[in-house]
Chain A
C-alpha cells in the first residue's frame, strides 16, 4: 500500500534551536518527494522537491535529505524562528500523472 509516515507527530523547540523531522514512505514507483509548510489557517506551500537522484536540497534554513534506498527523508531546520511554527507535510508522487500521497504532518511549535 502506498503510504507516507511522519514522525514525530508534534514537536516543541526553543527559538534558535535546530530540529529534524522524519518521513518514511512505501510509495512505488517513486517519482519525487516534497516537503510542504502549512501555517495555521492557510494552504500548504512547497519548501523543497527532490527527485530520485537528489540526496540533499536546501531552501534557506531548511535542508531536506532523501535516501531512496531506505525510502526515508528528513527535513532539518536550522536556527529556528517563531515563524517556523507550522505543520510540515511530507508528500510523495508516484510516476505518471497520479495523485500525490500525503503524510499526516508534523506540528512544530517554536517558543521564545
Chain B
C-alpha cells in the first residue's frame, strides 16, 4: 500500500516547455487534488477532481490543465511553463463519505522553470 505517489520528484524546465506531473493513489479514494506550495505561503489548490470523470478549478488554475485518467490517477499538465510556476507541487487524495475524510498527500514534485 504505497498511498499517494508522484513522479517525477524533481524537474527543471525552460520557459515555454511543457510537461505532465503524474499522481496515483492506491487507497480507492474518490477525490484527488493538486496543490502548489511556495515559500511563505500556504498550500494553494490548483485543480481538484471530486470523483472520477469530474474536474474543477481551484484557487490558482491559470496555466494548468488536469486529467482524471481513472479512479487511481490524476495528472497535472503545464502546456507552456513560466518562471512563476516554479514551485513544489503536491497531489492529495481522500475518500468522501462519513467521518472526517482525511486527506493524504504525496511526497511532492519540485519544479524549477528557468
B75 close to A (CB within 8 Å) = no
| Also in contact, A102 and B43, with CB within 8 A (given A42-B107, A43-B105) | yes
* Chain B contact surface mostly: loop
Question: Nearest Cβ in chain B — how far from A105, in angstroms?
Answer: 7
User: Per-residue CB proximity of B95-106 to A under 8 Å, as 1/0?
Assistant: 010001011111
Which partner residue on chain A sits nearest B91 by CB separation? A43
Contact across chains for B100 and A44 when beta carbons are under 8 A apart: no
With A97-B31, A99-B48, A99-B58 known as contacts, the answer to whether A46 contacts B102 (CB < 8 A) is yes
Number of A positions contacting B (CB below 8 A): 19
Residue B74 lies at the interface, judged by CB distance under 8 Å to chain A? no
Mark interface residues in B31-72 (1 if CB within 8 Å of A CB, else 0).
Answer: 101000000111111001010000000110000000000000
Shortest C-beta distance, B96 to chain A (Å), equals 6
Q: CB distance B103 to A104 under 8 Å? A: no
Task: Quote the shortest CB–CB distance from B18 to chain A (angstroms).
Answer: 24
For A89, give its contact among B40, B43, B44 (CB under 8 Å).
B43
Residue interface mask A15-50, B partner, CB < 8 A = 1: 000000000000000001010000001111110010
Q: Given the complex of chains A and B, what is the CA–CA distance between A4 and B4 in angstroms?
A: 26
Interchain nearest-CB distance for B92 vs A (Å): 8
Selected from B4, B40, B42, B106, the residue in CB contact (under 8 A) with A102 is B42
**Per a CB cutoff under 8 Å, which of A34, A42, A97, A105 touches B108?**
A42
Residues of B within 8 A of A (CB): 4, 31, 33, 40-45, 48, 50, 58-59, 90, 92, 96, 100, 102-108
20 other contacts beyond A102-B43, A105-B42, with CB at 8 A cut-off?
Answer: A4-B42, A32-B100, A42-B107, A42-B108, A43-B4, A43-B105, A43-B106, A44-B43, A44-B90, A44-B105, A46-B102, A49-B102, A51-B100, A89-B42, A89-B43, A97-B96, A99-B59, A100-B103, A102-B42, A104-B40
